[in-house]
Amino acid sequence: MQTIAILEAMEQGILICNRHGRIQYMNEAYGSFIGHTLEEVKGKPIADYRKQAKVPEVLETGIPVEGMIRREGYQEYFASIYPILEDGEIRGTISVVTTLEEHHLKKSLKHTTLEERVRNFERQEIQATVRYYGGGVEGKKLAAKELGISLATLYNKLKEN
């Protein structure tokens, strides 16, 4: 098997940077994570796309960073970054990223039926819309209108376990 095919098959985002912190490769999952294709970012510093990137630190120290829980913008994710060593010298890094959304989804899919997943999704959407418009009666009326459901249905959906 070819290495690229293996990396593309992974659900986790894979990022490989050179010794200068410039992007050399990323799989499609990582591209989705940063919202760009490899062609758009190849050769550019990872810090241009991830302002809090730890790649420069790993390149400087040679010490891997494992299992970090990070937040950038609206994204929460686990990240591990490892130095790539060749003849005892740091030649770059490889990062493995899993978004917390993916992690929670994988965890929840193991023990729920489709009906339960749909009900949970619906509840989350209703709760998010109510939070947006406010939790009072007027906010709930606006949320119900936005969602295209009656106020009574909104209340019933919020009560469901």
Q: Phi first, then psi: what are they for 41, rounded to 5°?
A: -115, -10
Q: What is the pLDDT of residue 107?
A: 57
Question: In a structure prediction context, what are the per-residue pLDDT tens digits for the chain, which is 161 residues long?
Answer: 588 888 888 888 999 999 999 999 999 989 988 889 999 999 999 999 888 899 999 999 999 999 888 877 767 788 999 999 999 999 999 999 987 665 455 555 566 788 887 888 888 889 889 988 888 899 899 999 999 999 999 998 888 75
Handedness of CA 90, 32, 119, 138 (dihedral sign): positive
Q: What is the pLDDT of residue 109?
A: 59
Q: What is the pLDDT of residue 144?
A: 92
Question: The tokens of 54 are what?
Answer: 């730890």
Burial class (CB within 10 angstroms; exposed 0-12, middle 13-18, buried 19+) of 6: exposed
Q: What is the pLDDT of residue 62?
A: 95
Q: What is the pLDDT of residue 102?
A: 54
Q: What is the pLDDT of residue 133?
A: 87
d(CA 72, CA 53): 10
